[in-house]
Amino acid sequence: MKYDLIIKNIKTAYTLKNGNIPRIGDELKNLSPVDGLSVAIKNGKIIEMGKDMNFSTEKVIDASGLIALPGFVDPHTHAIFGGNRANEWYRRQLGESYLSILKSDGGIIDTVSKTRMLSKEEMIKTTEVKLNRMLASGTTTVEVKSGYGLDHDTEIMMLETAKELNKSNRFDIVSTYLGAHAIPKEYKEKRDEYVKLVLDMLDEIKGKELAEFVDVFCEEGAFTVEESREILSKAKTLGFKLRIHADELAESGGSILAGEVGARSADHLLRISDEGIKAMIEGNVAAVLLPGTAFQMGGKHVPPVRKMIDKGMIIALASDFNPGSCPIYSLPIIISLGVMLYKLTPEEAISAVTVNSAYVVDRHSDKGTLEQGKDADILLLDANDIYEIPYWFGDMHVKYVIKYGKIVYEGDRYE
Ligand code: NIG
Ligand code: FE
């Protein structure tokens, strides 16, 4: 067969090909490394992998001295937004709390005003710029939430933006409707009506296939457990998969609700209780860990990560990229923080941004491992081993990012 691309002589390919999906417990540490591997690609897929193979092709990448990994999957971002909140960020450094700023119409509400001002073209352009930066840091598949429109038209525009950008072969986007991100200013005195708007929009979003997941920010200052249950229950009936922002600023009851409604994941979990852990395990709910956010919020509260892994919870890592609680879009930085702040091993952190994060967004049959038949989304790094990923904080040595068998980003060699 004539292939489109051959990557030959990879120093070490961390294939993650052996083991259950999702990985739990000690399985998270096995990255199935293979030395001296070559990979043959055609029509965007990995067709063959092996050593000493006779390949016929036009294009060859000599990967001697490079390590290979599956393209990273970021399973939790708010990458569509207008403006930024650098001023608020500094107010928080001086001691103001995230919640008090949100309650006084700053925070999410401030980004809502800036996002509503964007035209569709501007929204697509600014999001594309962000996604390209993520791509250069190794993110080849990304979940993107709405939630900075909080009115019918802007929420729909955000989801249409994600759909439009997903047409590109440069990145895969998984869309999530997060109408229940905050109560917008104009509904402050009539929150029931806003919840009703979110409930009504679910039908339209399903009908137009604008989102695959529905998420709720279940937290003091955002949505109560009862409101979250109502929204998620209807979403489930309509066939959406579910996510929850849970137990971040307080123990909100969100992780228990996640178990009850059978959410795919509960995310944040800085203040999760033993009861929450039990409910999530029983409901087979993945824990999406967001150490960038914990770090940006002061780093004092972190989830009981080791206990969660030892108890057999499914864990994944994500950036939570957003203009408020986490302006970090780079998964390599998140991996560093996962190791330094959450005490994951580098191997666990890699499983958490590949095979397990692909599972969270339901892309594990095509993404998250390097094996025959999967999409050719591959990172080639100028590094000796995966320990260099968290070590070079903020500067992972990317040589090539390959998406569907095409080079979409190329960096410099370091020697
Ligand atoms: O996941 N917690 C809710 N949503 C985001 C923050 C959004 C914002 O501050 O703009 C988060 O942290
Ligand atoms: Fe979030």
Per-residue pLDDT tens over the stretch 190-246: 999 999 999 999 999 999 999 999 999 999 999 999 999 999 999 999 999 999 999
Residues 61-112 pLDDT 10s: 999 999 999 999 999 999 999 999 999 999 999 999 999 999 888 999 999 9
Ligand nearest 218 Cα, by number? 1
Kindly report the number of other CB atoms within 10 A of residue 82's CB atom.
19
Pairing state of beta strands 172-180 and 139-145?
parallel
Site of tokens 């038949």: 373
Paired tokens of 196:
């009703």
Cα–Cα distance for residue pair 323/80, rounded to 1 Å: 9
Residue type, position 381, single letter: L
SS3 174: strand
Q: Of all protein residues, whose CA lies closest to atom 6 belonging to ligand 1?
A: 325
Cα torsion 103, 104, 108, 113 to 10°: value is: 140
* Over residues 251-256, mean pLDDT: 95
Q: Which atom of ligand 1 is nearest to the CA of 102?
A: 9
Considering just the CA atoms, what is the radius of gyration of the chain in Å?
21
Which residue ranges have their beta carbon within 6 Å of ligand 1? 78, 107-108, 111, 217, 245, 248, 293, 320, 322-325
Q: Of all protein residues, whose CA lies closest to atom 3 belonging to ligand 1?
A: 217
How far is ligand 2, taken at its centre, from the CA of residue 304, in Å?
Answer: 19
* Over residues 276-297, mean pLDDT: 98
pLDDT of residue 53: 76
What value does the mean pLDDT of the chain take?
97
How far is ligand 1, taken at its centre, from the CA of residue 94, in Å?
Answer: 19
How far out from the chain centre does Cα 66 lie? 25
Contact 269, 287 (CB under 8 A): yes
pLDDT of residue 232: 98
Paired tokens of 324:
């408020």
How far is ligand 2, taken at its centre, from the CA of residue 318, in Å?
Answer: 9
pLDDT of residue 415: 66
Contact 186, 120 (CB under 8 A): no
* Over residues 163-176, mean pLDDT: 97
Cα–Cα distance for residue pair 346/381, rounded to 1 Å: 15
How far is ligand 2, taken at its centre, from the CA of residue 216, in Å?
Answer: 9
Contact 381, 401 (CB under 8 A): no
